[in-house]
Structures are given as C-alpha cells and as structure tokens.
Amino acid sequence: MDSPCGSPNSDRQDGGEFQFTFESLITSSTRSILESLGVEGSCSVSLTESVFDFPQEFGRTFHAYKAGLYLFPNDDIEQDRLAIQTEAIERLCSGKVHFAPFSDKNPPRNVLDLATGTGDWAIQIGEMFPSTKVIATDLSPIQPTLVPPNVHFYIEDSSERWIYSERFDYIHTRGTAGCWQSFEKDIAAQAFEWLYPGGYFESVELDNYTGLLCSGSPPALKDIYRRVGFEDVHELILPMPMNGWPDDPMLKRIGGLWERNFLSGLSGMTLSIFTRVFELSPEDVEACMAPAVALINVRRELSDLNVHAYMNLRIVWGRKPVA
C-alpha cells in the first residue's frame, strides 16, 4: 500500500465526514453492490479490497494494510483469543469498562479507541453512551458488522500522524503491546494534541509483556502521561494471575482465562518473531530451541499450578489541562 490515496486520513483532510469505504460495515455483499454500480475502479474501493487481502503464514492470516507492522495474526483463532483476553481483563477490573470520570450524566461527546481489535470495548462504550460518537481504528478489518449506530470502525495505522475532523473528549488504548515503536511519541503525545481541553486519555496495558516488546512503554506509563502534559494522572495496578493457581475462586477463574489467552497467543506471536528475526523454522521454534524458550516447554510451565506467577495490569488515566 504505497499510496495514501483513499486512506481515512486523506479522506478527512477537507474536514468533512468520514468516507464510507473504510467502515467495517462494508461486507463482501456490499462491495459487490458497489461494483455492480460501477464504482469498483475507484481508488478507495480498491484500497478497501486490499485491506481484506490478508497475507498467510504458518496457516494463520495477518493484517494486509501496512503488512508486517504488527506480529500477531488476525484470524478466527486470534479473534477468539482477544475475546478471552477481554473477559479476563474485564473480570479483573470488576466489570468496570472505563476509569476516566464519565457517566450517564456526563457522557463524552466523542471517543477514539486506538488499535480496537475486534472492537469489543468501542461497542460497549457505544452502548453505554448512546449519544456519544465512537470512532475505533485498527490495521485489521476484523470488527463485527452489526454495531450500535454511534460506533464507526476505520482502518488506520495509529502510529502515523493523525488527521481527524474534530477533537475528542476521550481517547483510549487497551492491550496494545507490540503495536507502537514509541508509545510516548506515537500515541500519548498525539492523544494530548487531539483531546479537547479537559478531555481524558486512558490506557489499560500489561507490564513487562509490553516492556519486552516495546521498550519505554507501560512500565513508565504514568511518567509518560505526565511528560506529555496530562494532569490529575491516576494509576491502578491489578495483578493478573498467569494461570489458575490462586485459591480465591474469582482469581482462579481469571487466571484460567489468562492461561488460555497465553496458550492461544503463544505460537502466533512467537512464530512471527523467531522465524523472521532468527530465521528459524516453525519446527525449531516449537521444540528444538533452547529449552527455556521452546514453545513445548513454555506451554508446560505456563500451565504449572506450582508456579505462582502474575503480571501487572496497569490502568492509567489523566486529563488534558483546561487552560
């Protein structure tokens, strides 16, 4: 994709409404209708087609727009994994969907959810605040087509310069490990710029997992928020058990979900990194590497109830100063 022609950003440069072509509501049947109307030759339609043309590797599919930028697959297995991850995070957060101080009486006018994945959070927020316009973006068009009318999905690389037609009251990230080269420059600084004064930025991210993949990210999240200018910065740290080792029944259930999330995500992520970076074969990655990192052993240890491991889920939110 070497031309920004028809990209969501270029479509918005005139400050008008978003172009319909990037909505996930464009199903293959809609595309056939567009084609029958003779619009298949348009620049934006061909771009829409190409974002569905998922590259395949190891029997998995990956995002087509900016192919290779993000290492996890985007197929059904990955979408099921994201559903498990969401359930574990939501249970750990006691069902709380947002931490920034919005409410029925004080809903955000508009929300931006970056790297939305299957769009679960965006849809929940759209249902919770029906008068709020929710924009959610991702490299992959893997969001459902039946969504509340106030929720809109677009294909976008959020590490590029953002160009929107209006600012936001609330910008959100969750589980964006491995998505950004620099969380501070690419995301936090742009969120600061694109929020209305008094608007909130919020991140729900995992420690160390992200630290490994993307240095300078969530472990320093609170500092990053302050550095780019946010005030009234809050941080909540919740330990996520790696498997069902806790005695507490609720944490045991959450740990069991996290173990499933990890077991499911392990090969998709590891194969991409180890085959590309170390030029290993998938078989080597599975069994023949150094014992500590061979997946066969990692899986065994992940499920070992004698290992009482956890990782921190870090929730940070802060306000853009009013003046």
Binding site for ligand SAM (CB under 6 A): 63, 69-70, 82, 86, 115-117, 120-121, 137-140, 156-159, 174-176, 179
> Which residue lies nearer to ligand SAM by CB, 157 or 259?
157
User: Of 84 and 289, which has the nearer Cβ to ligand SAM?
Assistant: 84
Cβ-contact 72, 178 below 8 angstroms: yes
- Other CB atoms within 10 A of residue 100 CB: 18
201 touches 225 (CB < 8 A): yes
The string over 18-30, giving b where at least 16 C-beta atoms fall within 10 Å of a residue's C-beta and e elsewhere, is ebebbbbebeeee
- Cβ proximity to ligand SAM: between 194 and 245 the closer is 194
Minimal CB distance residue for ligand SAM = 117
At closest approach, how far in Å is the CB of 313 from ligand SAM? 11
Q: How far is the CB of 315 from ligand SAM (least distance, A)?
A: 12
- Least CB distance to ligand SAM at residue 36 (A): 31
The answer to whether the beta carbons of residues 243 and 259 sit under 8 Å apart is yes
Do residues 207 and 320 touch, judged by C-beta distance below 8 A? no
Q: Please, which residue, 199 or 265, has the CB nearer to ligand SAM?
A: 265
Are 202 and 100 in contact, with CB atoms under 8 Å apart?
Answer: yes
CB of 321 to ligand SAM, least distance (A): 27
DSSP per position, 239-294: EEESSS--SSHHHHHHHHHHHHHHHHHHHHHHHHHHHHHS---HHIIIIIS-TTT-
State which residue, 7 or 140, has the beta carbon closest to ligand SAM: 140
Least distance between ligand SAM and beta carbon 48 (Å): 17
Q: How far is CA 253 from the centre of its chain?
A: 24
Closest to ligand SAM by CB, 132 vs 173, is 173
Separation CA 206–CA 240 (nearest Å): 9
Min separation Cβ 281 and ligand SAM, Å: 26
Quote the least distance from Cβ 314 to ligand SAM, whole Å: 14
- If the CB atoms of residues 174 and 222 are measured against ligand SAM, the closer one turns out to be 174
**DSSP symbols for 184-228:** IIIIIHHHHHHEEEEEEEEEEEETTHHHHHSTTSGGGHHHHHHHH
The two tokens of residue 69 are: 């930028």
